[in-house]
Amino acid sequence: MHLSTDLDRYHALRTRDGRAEGRFFYAVATTGVYCRPTCAARLPRPENVAFYRTSQEAEAAGFRPCKRCRPRELPHAQRLAQVVEAARRLLESSEAPPRLAALAARVGLSAHYLHRLFKKQVGMTPRQYAAARRLARFGAELRDGSDVTTAIYAAGYSSSSRFYEAESGALGMLPAEVARGGRGVEMRATVARCSLGRVLVAATARGVSAIAFGDSDAVLLEELRARFPHALIRSSDAALDALATRVVQMVDDDSAGVAGDLPLDLMGTAFQQKVWRALRDIPRGATASYADVARAIGAPGAVRAVGTACGKNPVAVAVPCHRVVRQDGALGGYRWGLARKQALLAKERDRG
């Protein structure tokens, strides 16, 4: 946007172009008042307008601030951004995350408005942000050499049971565990037959950490070992066999309700976790575009990043990345092959 001449500035004033905010102020000789460029006051005649770079310059020239647009204050969007930033800092500095109502009172907004504004600007709710920060502190404590119990309390959890209650049912194998290539992690793995070929299912004590399609048992197991080279990967047991049976049901029978309560133990960045949660909200038999998912998580400009997160999804079907397609309806990509993606979608459409 060019504002190098008075003609440019007057055009921005006439159209109330928000991009001009903070770049100039205008004063009106007939009223003795100066305003911000988006002021809703009646448009003055160009011969009565003078432009100033700062509010101080306008006041030094003898003009008083408009009571309507309050040019001494920050623009509305900047004030809201500052409020969200203040809320974010409070969440990061609090050992125990404050309740939404208390947080909203601290920053001077209603709880409902803060919740909506925070999610729009940050991409997650205050509660989700606090949980992600607390889990990150836990991982940092482990990397610094703390034992698990010490790290749990240092991160702000009131007890080890509260930690596992809060984190083990969500998408969250610990960052430190993955950074160490799974060192200290014990998981069991099995490969079963399904209508799409062979399917590997691997799980820790907290839940399923991998579901992958392939044509070779040996290749599927080798790929799992490459992802977690230091994990202790054991053969299947009765509990994993039961999980694998449920996974095969999801693939072959498309059983409603099976995926919703399947326990997951996944590692991803905060952004990837947001995407994966959004994928689980896409109804069976429906599809969404990458742009739809980006809007759903409050990040409409992150379409490409959404595609990357879909490609890194480690659990086929349970996190249904196969339901994400291009804007024009084309299938797009799929980690386990487009033929499998097409088959899954066809099965879901047929069974509604």
- Kindly give the confidence (pLDDT) of every residue in the chain, 352 residues in length, as a single tens digit, with 9 standing for 90 and above: 678 899 999 999 999 887 888 889 999 999 999 999 989 889 999 999 999 999 999 999 999 999 988 888 777 677 778 888 888 888 887 777 788 999 989 888 888 988 888 887 776 788 878 877 777 677 667 656 666 667 777 777 666 555 555 554 443 455 444 544 555 568 899 999 999 999 999 988 778 889 999 999 999 999 988 887 777 888 888 888 888 988 998 888 765 444 556 788 877 767 788 889 899 889 888 999 999 999 988 888 888 889 988 998 999 999 999 999 998 888 888 999 999 999 999 988 876 5
Instruction: Tell me if 130 sits within 8 A of 93, measured CB to CB.
Output: no
Return the structure tokens found at 283.
């109804």
CATH 3.90.550.10 assigned to domain 270-351? The reply is: no
Query: What is the pLDDT, as a whole number, of residue 337?
Result: 93
Phi, psi dihedral angles at 64 (to 5 degrees):
-105, 155
Instruction: Tell me if 129 sits within 8 A of 91, measured CB to CB.
Output: yes
Q: Which CATH superfamily is domain 75-167 in?
A: Homeodomain-like (1.10.10.60)
Q: Which CATH architecture has domain 186-252?
A: 2-Layer Sandwich (3.30)
Domain positions in the chain are 6-65, 75-167, 186-252, 270-351
Indicate if 270-351 has the same CATH topology as 75-167. yes
Query: What is the pLDDT, as a whole number, of residue 184?
Result: 56
Q: What DSSP designation does 315 have?
A: B
Cα 296 to Cα 28, 47, 117, distances in angstroms: 44, 48, 14
From the list 49, 108, 64, the residue with the least C-alpha distance to 82 is 108
CA quadruple 8, 9, 14, 17: dihedral sign: positive
Instruction: Tell me if 310 sits within 8 A of 323, measured CB to CB.
Output: no
Q: Which CATH superfamily is domain 6-65 in?
A: DNA Methylphosphotriester Repair Domain (3.40.10.10)
CA quadruple 122, 127, 131, 137: dihedral sign: positive
Query: What is the pLDDT, as a whole number, of residue 257?
Result: 46
CA quadruple 295, 299, 300, 303: dihedral sign: negative
**Which residues pair with residue 27 across a beta bridge?**
34, 50
Phi, psi dihedral angles at 259 (to 5 degrees):
-70, -30
Query: What is the pLDDT, as a whole number, of residue 162?
Result: 59
From the list 321, 217, 350, the residue with the least C-alpha distance to 259 is 321
Return the structure tokens found at 320.
């249904």
**Which residues pair with residue 196 across a beta bridge?**
none
Q: Which residues are part of the catalytic machinery?
A: 35, 321
Return the structure tokens found at 32.
């003795």
Helices (H), 184-317: 217-227, 238-252, 270-280, 290-296, 303-311
Statement: the pTM of the whole predicted model exceeds 0.85: no
With residue 233 as reference, give the H or E element that holds it.
strand 232-234
Query: What is the pLDDT, as a whole number, of residue 256?
Result: 46
